[in-house]
Structure 1
Amino acid sequence: MSNTTNVKRAAVLALMDQLRKDVTEKTLTPQEELAILEKLKVHGRTVSGSDAIYSQEGITFLAEVAFRPNNPDSSREALRCLANALYLERQTVQYFIEGGWVEKACEAYKSENVDDEFLLGRILFFSTTFAKDDHLLNKWIDEHDLVKNNLAAITRHATAYVAAASSTTAQAVPMMQSMALQDTLKLLYTLTTKIPDDSTVLLPIIPQLLTLLSALPIQSPPLQAPTHHIIDALSNLPPLTPESQNFYFPPSDPTIHISAILKILDRAAVPPTSATTSRSTTVDDFDNHALSLLKLLIEVYPSAPEPVKKLMHETLLPSEKERTSPLGSQSSTTLPGRLLRLAGSPTTTNTRLILQTLFFEISDSDPVKLIKNVGYGHASGYLMMRGIPIPPEALEEVAESDSGRSGRRINPITGQYLEDELRDIEASGVQGLEGMTDEEKEREAEKLFVLFERLNRTGVINVENPVRTAMQEGRFEEIKSDDEDSDDDNGVGKGKGKGKA
């Protein structure tokens, strides 16, 4: 063990002894006591050599100082020491719980001071998250107002952010208030994961969270704290009951909250610029933080009223105008196009599957609708992975109408209008059948035959090979080379098959 660690251990022990001695002798002024606690806070930022802080006796003594009345500065500094300890060493959480200090923290959490809220919210987050046994949670909620005080704190923040948003002077919320909100929201998220789904105790928090989310300015990147903390909590409080549905879809304006969530998604969904592009900061932010947002949208859709479903369709599914190009192409800048690229990107390891699930959900969990909405190329992998049969009719060309014009047909693989696909082929300079020699047509037919045979053998689809069908129906004829023509005059030689033009 290094001499530096021993020196630190002795210094920490001496500081703790000074505080303990002052309990009975009262020799320290409030300023001297605060200075000692500040030194202990610095020492306690690392566990090594801080034994006197991280022991059960040390946690108990710091908690006594933290919850002692009449000296708020020293109490907050002791809370900072405790917050560091509970974060760095999980065993200290058990010491704190066993000493009955969580109950004290729950009651003190009603303070409207943002410094108190920040520290107590953090300590309660560690206590509820890292507790080995959750049996005390009901006691903290029922007897010590844990949820009630959390709701009160979130309501205060919602009021402040609404006032800031409506201010004509671009009033900013203080940084300390924002930090307090983040720890209050992290505590709420833990509560949403541990309180049973059928409990109604958290329902009053939903409208405050939705109000707060609408009042927050969209940041850059959009899913940073506190926005993603709000969405994390909401994702565990979906609209499953009539009461919660009224919160999410207020009768006076049922789309107001979902519209705000979709705007955040629109700003956050920035895909790689090409299939070979490595992960970028924006893609990382989306992949790390968008999971809860996408989960929330999936859970909102089934119970949403018709105006909300219509909004989600119009916002998340490709429009008819987008079918002039393959759906999800690099040229698309719309939200559906960007989401399709993210859903097919190898870089979105966390969100790729849930994005595909979102498209399936808003297609009413119907594989035919999914293929019509996004194209077989984007839908097939998801359907196969889920073991969902692909109906044969989904692979046929689908007649679609566009702006009142009926009969426009689409390529079911890419989702692009066939007429626009042919236009793109011609513009690219790729030769059509008319410009091919007979031998080139034959080679292309052979390639097509082999590709369909391989595809059928994979079991992905089971469709009739169109080249085989053409052969069986007699739509192929013999072709001859110049040499064969001369041989044929003598009745010798056979030609090769050629597709009729």
Structure 2
Amino acid sequence: MEGQASTFPGQPLRRLSGGKHEHVASLMEMLRIDLEEATLLPQQRSEVLEELKVQSRVADGCDPIYTIESIHTISRIALDSGPSSLSREALRCLANIFLLNPETRQRWVDLGFSVKAAERLKIDNVEDEFLISRILFLMTYDTNLNFEPLLGQHLLAESLNTHIIRHSKRYSKSTRRHSRPLQDDDGALSENVKLIYNIIHYYPGFSDTFTTSIPHLLKILYRRKISEQPLAAPVRYLINLLGCLDLEDQKCCRFTTNPLFPSSDPSCNTIHLITILEKAMDCYPEQELDALAGPVVDILIRIHACAPESVKKQMRALLLPINENKTSPHEASQKLPSRLLQLSTSSWTPNLRNSIQTLMFDLSDQSADTYVQNIGYSFAASFLVTENLAIPTSASEAFSSAGQVKSVQAQKKDGEVPSRTPSLIEDKEREAEKLFRLFERLKRTNTVKARCPVQQAIEQSRWEQVD
């Protein structure tokens, strides 16, 4: 019949001339009948699934494949038999359906195919890893799927760890920075790592089961060539996952040596992460850096907390703005520490801003005095006030100096000649003015209780107006 697809053995599949809705409905009907009566030849069955996959990439007109009956039919083709090109084509259809129509995810869960999906992931195949991991990742949203039986009884965690080990074996020392992995491998690794991340988020009790993957994740990250987009997938997913794992291995004690700090080169992973951060700042605008680079700074904070002193020393040398301009972000150099200071005051990076300030504070041994000395008063003040930390005496003196010094060559209030050079006094005056404005803004917002040292000096009669 004109406009209908042929179902006679030996005849090729003809595309319908009607609308997409009717075309998709006809394809589903052919698959449903074939599943019960085997009316299609293998080539025709493959063509129908290929056409259905193409149609499922756009949600409009795909209502016939979003029904529970259609999901059941496609899932049977995908998971009832062993791995094959036909079953993987059906898995691709399901992945498209679940991505574009979240309501269908719960229907799939209700049909009970999640167990078969977890079992399928035990197979050592990169396509199966990619497709099953993506489907299960989507099931972590908008469904009531309980992953605990999958992780425990059906060894989902072990399967995911095994795939990560397989990926890490492709990264030998000789291939580092010389070759790139295949796109299919990167895609499978990305979906795997995203799924583990969500499992840990929703089932933190299973976090320890993924600790064994830490050395392999670090190996993949370190030996990958840094691309022009340094935080493109799967790198950003690897960093996100490492950030939520037990890097110190405090609970399981599986490692004799912390894989973060290998004995051959304890700083290699830390310096590599800092290099990624620096290249990311060259590549992405500030609006994107807030989400992309934030996890990199966060993991550097965690690394510093457990790092040996030699690694901490290198981190301070690479990240602290020692001997650089710390009075104005506009005057700062293009070196990494100064650029971090610029981001720590940017309105475009609220999350990254807080992370950078915390990192700088930790690198300063969590000492307010050292923190101010390292990054300057104007950069340090907002963090100290927000964290309810006492303003160091040296910072308070900066306020006093602005009102007590008549000129560059003037004497102090108590008659003592200042020992500091005129240029330093001018810097103090500029710092005091910036801090004064900062305290005034904080006081107006009522978000924190901030007392300006200048105001305190006035109230305590320690302030003298000079010409």
Instruction: Please give the range of the TM-score, normalised by the shorter of the 2 chains.
Output: 0.7 to 0.9
CA displacement, residues 176-216 of structure 1 (integer Å, 9 cap, x when unaligned)? 21222221121122122123268421110111111111011
Q: Structure 2 vs 1, CA of residues 364 and 212 (structure 1 numbering), >3 Å: closer, same or farther?
A: same
Q: Contact 1:109 / 1:149 at 8 angstroms: preserved in 2?
A: yes
Provide the C-alpha distance between the structure 2 equivalents of 1:309 and 1:422, rounded to a whole number of angstroms: 30
Comparing 379-388 with 45-54, greater Cα deviation is found at 45-54
The match for 1:95 is 107
- Which position in structure 1 is the counterpart of 2:341? 340
Q: Could you report, residue by residue, the CA deviation over 1:8-34 in whole angstroms, capped at 9, with x for unpaired residues?
A: 332222211111211233221111001
Q: Is this contact kept in 2: 1:363–1:369, CA < 8 A?
A: yes
- Superposed displacement of residue 374, structure 1: 0.5
- Paired residue for 1:228? 236
Residues 15 and 36 of structure 1 are in contact (CA less than 8 Å); yes or no, is this contact kept in structure 2?
yes
Matching residue within 69, 74, 78 for 2:86: 74
Q: Which moved more, 1:239-248 or 1:175-184?
A: 239-248
- Equivalent position to 1:248, from 257, 260, 267: 260
1:120 matched residue in structure 2 = 132
Q: Is residue 461 from structure 1 mapped to residue 452 from structure 2 by the alignment?
A: yes
Deviations 1:77-126 (A, max 9, x none): 10011001111122221122222211111121133322222211211211
Question: What's the CA shift string for 1:391-449, capped at 9, x where partnerless?
Answer: 3244447xxxxxxxxxxxxxxxxxxxx76946999xxxxxxxxxxxxxxxxxx9xxx99
**Partners of 1:360 and 1:367 within 8 A in 2:** yes
1:424-439 residue pairs with structure 2 within 5 A? none
Q: Tell me if 1:380 matches 2:390.
A: no
Contact conserved, 2:211 with 2:246, CA < 8 A, in 1?
Answer: no
Q: Which amino acid aligns with 1:73?
A: S
Give the deviation of 1:232 after TM superposition.
0.6
Identity %: 33
Q: Structure 2 vs 1, CA of residues 89 and 456 (structure 1 numbering), >3 Å: closer, same or farther?
A: closer
Structure 1 Cα separation of the partners of residues 113 and 422 of structure 2: 69
Aligned Cα RMSD in Å?
3.4
* Equivalent of residue 64 in structure 1, options 54, 76, 97: 76
State whether residues 52 and 93 of structure 2, in contact with CA within 8 Å, keep that contact through their aligned partners in structure 1.
Answer: yes
Return 346-355 or 72-81, whichever deviates more: 346-355
1:200 and 1:237 map into 2 onto residues whose CA distance is 8
User: If you compute each CA radius of gyration, which structure gives the higher value, 1 or 2?
Assistant: 1
Point out where structure 2 has 5 or more consecutive residues left out of the alignment: 1-15, 399-419, 444-449
2:211 is aligned with 1:192: no
Cα gap change, 1:387 to 1:119, in 2 (>3 Å): same
The amino acid across from 1:303 in the alignment is C
Please give the alpha-carbon distance, in whole angstroms, between the structure 1 residues aligned to 2:316 and 2:438: 36
Q: Name 1:38's counterpart in structure 2.
A: 50
Between the aligned partners of 2:338 and 2:381, the Cα distance in structure 1 is 17
1:353 equivalent in structure 2: 354
Say whether the 8 Å CA contact 2:215–2:259 is kept in structure 1. Answer: yes
TM-aligned CA deviation for residue 294 of structure 1: 1.4
Question: Is the aligned partner of 1:175 residue 2:203?
Answer: no
How many residues of Structure 1 are paired with residues of Structure 2 in the alignment? 413
**In structure 2, the residue corresponding to 1:75 is in which secondary structure?**
helix
Structure 1 residue 160 corresponds to structure 2 residue 170: yes
Instruction: Please name the residue that 2:12 is paired with.
Output: none
The code of the aligned residue for 1:51 comes to D
Q: Does 1:204 align with 2:212?
A: yes
Distance in 2 (alpha carbons) for counterparts of 1:62 and 1:99:
12
Select the residue among 288, 297, 300 that pairs with 1:297: 300
- 1:251 is displaced (CA, Å) by 4.0
Taking the aligned partners of 2:61 and 2:335, their CA distance within structure 1 comes to: 56
5 Å-filtered alignment, 1:407-486, equals: 421=423, 460-463=451-454, 464=457
Instruction: Give the TM-score normalised by the residue count of structure 1.
Output: 0.74
- Separation in 2, partners of 1:39, 1:107: 27
Q: Does 1:316 align with 2:287?
A: no
Counterpart CA distance in 2 for 1:228 and 1:382 is: 27
Alpha-carbon distance between aligned partners in 1 of 2:437 and 2:395, rounded to the nearest angstrom: 20
* In structure 1, distance between residues paired with 2:292 and 2:68: 37
Report if the CA contact (8 A) 1:164-1:172 is conserved: no
Shift of 1:154: 1.4
Instruction: Determine the structure 1 residue equivalent to 2:4.
Output: none
CA shift in 2, pair 1:454/1:154, >3 Å:
closer
TM-score by length of 2: 0.79
**Are residues 81 and 421 of structure 1, via their aligned partners in 2, closer, same or farther at CA, if it must alter by over 3 Å?**
farther
Q: Aligned in 2, Cα 1:221/1:166: closer, same or farther, shift over 3 Å?
A: closer
